[in-house]
Structure 1
Amino acid sequence: MAKSKETFPKDVFISLKELLGMEHLAMHFSLLARKQKVNSILGGKHASKLRGRGLDFEEVRNYVNGDDIRNIDWKVTARTHQTHTRVFTEEKEKPALIIVDQSKSMLFGSQQYTKSVVAARLAAMVAFRVLKQGDRVGRVIFADNGVDIIFPKRDRKNILRFFEMIVSRNHELADSAPVMFEEALQETIKKVRNMVTHDFLVVVISDFLRYSPQLTKFITQIAQHNDVLLAKVTGPMEWEIPHIKFVAGDNHSQVAIDGKKKNTRDDLQNRFKTDFTKFKGEMKRHRVPLFSINTVAPVDVQLKEIFKGTGK
């Protein structure tokens, strides 16, 4: 029997109506990189430096092995006594792949929203943004008991299918199905490797709590030939444990936490902060950008603040 709407309270679970409503919000933020030749991480026609004839002149720079000799700027070369070449830009498509986590750890929220709801909303906004720019967008929904794959297409019907799958996986979090996290993770890595070749934009939305060094290695490998952007969803209680006794859990298990004990608070908080710092440092070493988004403020408001001053 299908579950009633009352079974899935708003802000704890996501709905198809909410995801479709993200379209107008996606028009009001832009993940733009400062002082870069690339106009936008999520822009549709990504400018790229090419060695050869292009559409628009970009700059003159020192000649390097492999440059097209037809583009040598002889006037600058004669003036400087060093070989210089002209560089042009060309517009090209950049397909996107959105990987959104809907596993058990995402069914957590101490204020306002659960992490799974925030992740779903962010995924919807990114999907609409990419589609608006005319690029193909593919999706991977990662859950404890399976992986849903939608190959990159430039199609609104494909986005609707993506949203329906997110809602289905999100609502499964209320069930008592057995957890097979590692198996699902292995399947996700395998499928993404087969899908992503090079020059993709890969956006991973997760809390990154249970991921092994294997996934870290996988992310850094993908980033060698693609643009990878990580969004870490966190709840305020992960950063600061309240000074009270409370019970945390879901409809399967519960754990009592005594927040009045300083040692308990410090241990939990330090563990979370240490893991986050380590993960962020590892990503930074491989030049993989990571930003944190919380479960309190609206997603679009946070994105505007995170990427403010970068333009549209």
Structure 2
Amino acid sequence: MISEKEILKKVLKIELRARFLAQQLFTGKYASSFKGKGIEFSEVRPYAPGDDVRSIDWNITARMNAPYIKEFTEERQLSVVFMLDIGASMHFGTSEKMKREYATEVASLLAWTSARNGDKAGLILFSSGIEKYIPPRKGRFHIMRIIREMLYAEPTARASDIQGALEFASRVFGKKSIIFVFSDFFTLDDARKLRILSSKHDVIGLRVRDRSEVTLPECGMVRIKDSVSARRCFADFSSRASRKIFSQRLSAEERMLDSLFNSAGCDLLKLSTGDDYVPPLLNLFRTRSRRR
């Protein structure tokens, strides 16, 4: 069993890298990628060359006999929620990291980036049911607790009920939040719950797969185990027919997942445990900034 000292060491290691990346690369891009809760009136001031004429307050302009404009500021503080699938299929990895650990590193970076913008962070862990819910709050120790739970919370079931987790999030969060959903999405086959959640919140899916789940390794006859049912069987990974079937099923699955997220109006970022997550995250932020 892992010791408390080892747990703290792991959490601090992830925290250190996340805080560095948040400070160096992500803070400004995050603020321009995710909208605040709304726009509120700030002040009226004299018009200056270059100001948008659509902002002129004509009532005050008439009274003062000089052009004045209204200024508005964005209400910035948001709740950022991390939903992590901790079902058995996320406890898999052929590279140096399990999918769950990789997802935790990405979430830690996003948590520290949001914290630097004054946002609160919360957590939902789920398998076949809701395993843990931590309401959004601020503070370093709060984020460290989130990292710890993402890494080490023990699931009570092997299966994953993504639909149930999405429904729980819809019930719990009233005000608009940013919701990052981390999963391999093997069990997502319907967009209705995703669509309901995204009608109130900004939902981003982060599909995490192991490299071997995306590209079949050439290693001959292998004994494999289903992570959810625990059934075992043999598969010939060197067989041309097997590789063709795998490729066809993967392509069909990718198209279905893209279609589900598109129909729900949500962004989907596809990540692989063998790859650096920084470039695709930066690309996601740039894409969202251009859409604002």
Do both share a fold (TM > 0.5)?
Answer: yes
Relative to structure 1, the CA distance from residue 199 to residue 181 in structure 2 (aligned partners, 3 Å threshold; closer, same or farther) is: closer
Distance 2:271 2:44 in 1: 37
**Corresponding residue for 2:133?**
149
Asked whether the equivalents of residues 85 and 160 of structure 2 are also in contact (C-alpha less than 8 Å), the reply is no
Distance 2:183 2:264 in 1: 19
Asked whether the equivalents of residues 238 and 269 of structure 1 are also in contact (C-alpha less than 8 Å), the reply is no
Where structure 1 has 5 or more consecutive residues not aligned to the other structure, the ranges are 63-69, 76-85
Secondary structure of the corresponding residue to residue 111 of structure 1: coil
**Corresponding residue for 1:79?**
none
Distance 1:73 1:115 in 2: 59
- After TM superposition, the score normalised by the length of structure 1 is 0.71
Asked whether the equivalents of residues 167 and 193 of structure 2 are also in contact (C-alpha less than 8 Å), the reply is no
Aligned partner of 1:39 among 10, 17, 32: 32
**Corresponding residue for 1:249?**
225
Distance 1:33 1:112 in 2: 29
Asked whether the equivalents of residues 99 and 140 of structure 1 are also in contact (C-alpha less than 8 Å), the reply is yes
Distance 1:126 1:254 in 2: 37
Relative to structure 1, the CA distance from residue 111 to residue 97 in structure 2 (aligned partners, 3 Å threshold; closer, same or farther) is: same
Relative to structure 1, the CA distance from residue 17 to residue 32 in structure 2 (aligned partners, 3 Å threshold; closer, same or farther) is: closer
Deviation per CA, 1:49-106: give whole Å up to 9, x if none.
Answer: 56xx4458985669xxxxxxx956999xxxxxxxxxx885322122211112221111
Name the aligned partner's letter for residue 181 of structure 1: S
Name the aligned partner's letter for residue 160 of structure 2: F
Where structure 2 has 5 or more consecutive residues not aligned to the other structure, the ranges are 46-50, 62-68
User: Post-superposition shift, 1:233?
Assistant: 1.0
**Corresponding residue for 1:289?**
267
User: Post-superposition shift, 1:32?
Assistant: 7.5
User: Post-superposition shift, 1:120?
Assistant: 1.0
Relative to structure 1, the CA distance from residue 90 to residue 108 in structure 2 (aligned partners, 3 Å threshold; closer, same or farther) is: same
Relative to its length, the structure with more helix (as a share) is: 2
User: Is 1:181 aligned to residue 164 of structure 2?
Assistant: no
**Corresponding residue for 1:208?**
185
Name the aligned partner's letter for residue 222 of structure 1: L
Relative to structure 1, the CA distance from residue 28 to residue 278 in structure 2 (aligned partners, 3 Å threshold; closer, same or farther) is: farther
Aligned partner of 1:225 among 197, 200, 225: 200
Paired residue total: 269
Amino-acid identity (%) = 16
Relative to structure 1, the CA distance from residue 96 to residue 24 in structure 2 (aligned partners, 3 Å threshold; closer, same or farther) is: same
User: Post-superposition shift, 1:263?
Assistant: 2.1
User: Post-superposition shift, 1:167?
Assistant: 2.3
Asked whether the equivalents of residues 26 and 300 of structure 1 are also in contact (C-alpha less than 8 Å), the reply is no
Name the aligned partner's letter for residue 202 of structure 2: D
Relative to structure 1, the CA distance from residue 72 to residue 304 in structure 2 (aligned partners, 3 Å threshold; closer, same or farther) is: same
Distance 1:98 1:56 in 2: 39
User: Post-superposition shift, 1:300?
Assistant: 2.9
**Corresponding residue for 1:25?**
21
**Corresponding residue for 2:210?**
235
Distance 1:154 1:288 in 2: 26
Alignment of 1:1-312 (within 5 A): 3-4=1-2, 15-21=10-16, 22-30=18-26, 39-41=32-34, 46=36, 48-49=38-39, 53-55=41-43, 59=52, 71=57, 89-92=72-75, 93-144=77-128, 146-169=130-153, 172=154, 178-182=157-161, 186=164, 188-213=165-190, 216-245=191-220, 246-249=222-225, 253-304=231-282, 307=285
Distance 2:72 2:121 in 1: 23
Secondary structure of the corresponding residue to residue 122 of structure 1: helix
CA RMSD, 1 decimal: 3.7
- After TM superposition, the score normalised by the length of structure 2 is 0.76
User: Post-superposition shift, 1:128?
Assistant: 1.1
Relative to structure 1, the CA distance from residue 49 to residue 73 in structure 2 (aligned partners, 3 Å threshold; closer, same or farther) is: farther
